[in-house]
């Protein structure tokens, strides 16, 4: 297992593991409503089965930008309070996959540049993480990427209120992974939360970060 001491975690080790464990094979469940992304939580899995029957699948892509600093960080955004969906929440750069996007990776890169001005030249895509389903019908395919320092952000205020970095060591430390529960049509389902300073990271963002921990940091 990777060390979670912020003074000792190795960016090189994290990226090496990610390159060895991830690839760019697109899972068929991204668009097939008959394939349910599994979370391992019985309540969540049952919820996703119900959602798949009642709502159209909404394919989406996000970028997990791991900034290759001496102590690596993850670049996150705070969505605009004026948005119709998930207003004010902490998220990764990303959004729905458009018909003009050549791939989920292309969608994630496009959204990262549109939302926060993160240029492609600073990004080294590594591979797709597991498909993540939400109660709104989204099927989110995250791209893990190494980001070279030196970039300058240009935030689109129509979509994003703020962008900030959180130490990777904090996010990959299971001691910081809180588990909360919520009811969905009489069923109890769990979700993760990772509060950091004044930021409340929860829901799909925290869930995807937990998957990142399980895929990359666990032996």
In a domain, 6, yes or no: no
pLDDT tens, position by position, 73-84: 999 999 876 665
- Which domain does 200 fall in, by range? 11-217
| Structural domain count of the chain | 1
Sign of CA dihedral 51, 53, 54, 60: positive
In a domain, 5, yes or no: no
pLDDT tens, position by position, 54-80: 888 899 999 999 999 999 999 999 987
pLDDT tens, position by position, 157-194: 888 889 999 999 999 999 999 998 877 777 777 889 99
Q: CATH no. for residue 110?
A: 3.90.79.10
Pairing of strands 123-128, 94-96: unpaired
In a domain, 4, yes or no: no
């Amino acid at each position: 297992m990777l060390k979670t001491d912020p003074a000792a975690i190795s960016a090189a080790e994290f990226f090496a593991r990610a390159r060895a464990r991830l690839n760019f094979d697109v899972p068929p469940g991204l668009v097939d409503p008959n394939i349910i992304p599994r979370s391992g939580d019985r309540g969540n899995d049952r919820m996703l089965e119900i959602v798949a029957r009642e709502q159209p699948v909404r394919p989406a892509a996000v970028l997990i930008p791991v900034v290759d600093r001496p102590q690596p960080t993850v670049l996150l955004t705070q969505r605009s309070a004026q948005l119709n969906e998930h207003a004010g929440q902490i998220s990764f750069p990303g959004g729905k996959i458009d018909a003009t996007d050549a791939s989920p990776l292309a969608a994630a890169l496009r959204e990262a540049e549109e939302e926060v001005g993160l240029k492609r030249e600073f990004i080294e895509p590594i591979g797709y993480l597991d498909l993540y389903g939400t109660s709104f019908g989204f099927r989110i395919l995250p791209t893990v990427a190494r980001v070279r320092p030196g970039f300058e952000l240009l935030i689109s205020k129509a979509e994003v209120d703020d962008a900030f970095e959180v130490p990777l060591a904090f996010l990959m430390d299971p001691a910081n992974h809180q588990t909360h529960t919520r009811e969905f049509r009489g069923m109890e389902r769990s979700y993760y939360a990772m509060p950091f300073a004044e930021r409340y990271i929860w829901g799909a963002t925290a869930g995807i970060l937990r998957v990142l921990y399980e895929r990359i940091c666990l032996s």
